[in-house]
Amino acid sequence: MLQSPSAFDADASPVRAPLRDGFCRSVCYLRVSVTDRCDFRCSYCMADRVQFLPRKDLLSLEELDRLCSAFIGMGVTKLRVTGGEPLVRRDIMGFFRAMSRHLASGALRELTLTTNGSQLSRHAADLAACGVRRVNVSLDTLDAGRFATLTRRGQLAPVLEGIAAARAAGLRVKINTVALHGFTEDELFPLVDWCASEGHDLTLIELMPMGEEGAEARIGQFLPLSDLRARLAERFTLEPLTETTGGPARYVRLAETGQKIGFITPLSHNFCESCNRVRLTCTGELYTCLGQEGASDLRSALRDTPDATALESAIRAAIALKPRGHDFDYSRGVPQGVMPRGMNHTGG
């Protein structure tokens, strides 16, 4: 059972000034990676042979609790748990149970996670009991053969079982699909039809030039979402929505089915001016922009002193370094802003 010092509890600490970066953007959304490990090796995400971090280098779940609680105490209201694959970390449900106290206090408005779904069937009920109300599941195809090829070692059936278990537990499921040239064109309508029949929202995501596979591989895989949107418009009536979840997606409703489709377009139309999120890695690095290399080490401030004030100062100093935006760009035919680190390191 995780036991967090009360000095780091959002519900036990006095109200402090909200987090704002140097461009007056409010930071209220923390994505925390609890592990760099994953049981898949999706070709657009990581190398087939990847060197994971030594377990001793990872923050303990107690340390992650202290860090997340400090952020919540400074105004973070949405916490998304990511990886790697977060549900492969040992005793991860203890972390979710610890974070649920911030939901109970009202300091945290949403506790959620992004998962590949492989372990979801055995954790769905416990996640719901911890106050998780919705999950994002990464799913790029409903074809078992293509799924195995894309993930290199994954199986589709357990993922579909996990999604069904999440629904049975009362969790809303959003499907995240990365757009891949020469692949997603064939998968689009089967996914849309399946999501409509199952009651899932679907969000399409442009591929970012990240990871060890190399920039040339990424540009060959890139598919602008304008292409997929045009395909959808050939079959459906697209009704633009003004609603937002506080994230980067822009939504339309398909008039014929009533379902919601999201578009995340970091390459063809970035959303940096409204960015409200930062990413904490499993080693205590804080990345204030997914598309920039700069990171701040919070592990030292966490471990060097139990004083909450020192950690808060380190967090505020890191937030002040948040850049105006990323440099991702494919428009010149050559990838710009390439990040060699994989998504499993930074967190999805």
Could you tell me which residues are annotated as the binding site for GTP?
31, 80, 114, 174, 277-279
Q: Long-range contacts made by residues 47-52, C-beta under 8 angstroms, separation at least 24?
A: 47/211, 47/212, 47/213, 47/342, 48/152, 50/212, 50/342, 50/344
Q: Which amino acid is at 138?
A: S
Q: Residue positions in the annotated binding site for [4Fe-4S] cluster?
A: 38, 42, 45, 272, 275, 289
Q: Residue 275: CB partners within 8 Å, gap ≥ 6?
A: 25, 248, 289, 322, 325
Q: Which amino acid is at 34?
A: V
Helix (H), strand (E) counts: the chain: 11, 12
- Phi and psi of 210, rounded to 5°? -130, 150
Q: Residue positions in the annotated binding site?
A: 31, 38, 42, 44-45, 80, 84, 114, 138, 174, 208, 272, 275, 277-279, 289
The separation between the first and the last C-alpha atoms of the chain, rounded to the nearest angstrom, is: 26
Q: Residue positions in the annotated binding site for S-adenosyl-L-methionine?
A: 44, 84, 138, 208
Helix, strand, coil abundance in the chain, percent, nearest 5: 35, 20, 45
Q: How many Cβ atoms from other residues are within 10 Å of residue 132's Cβ? A: 25
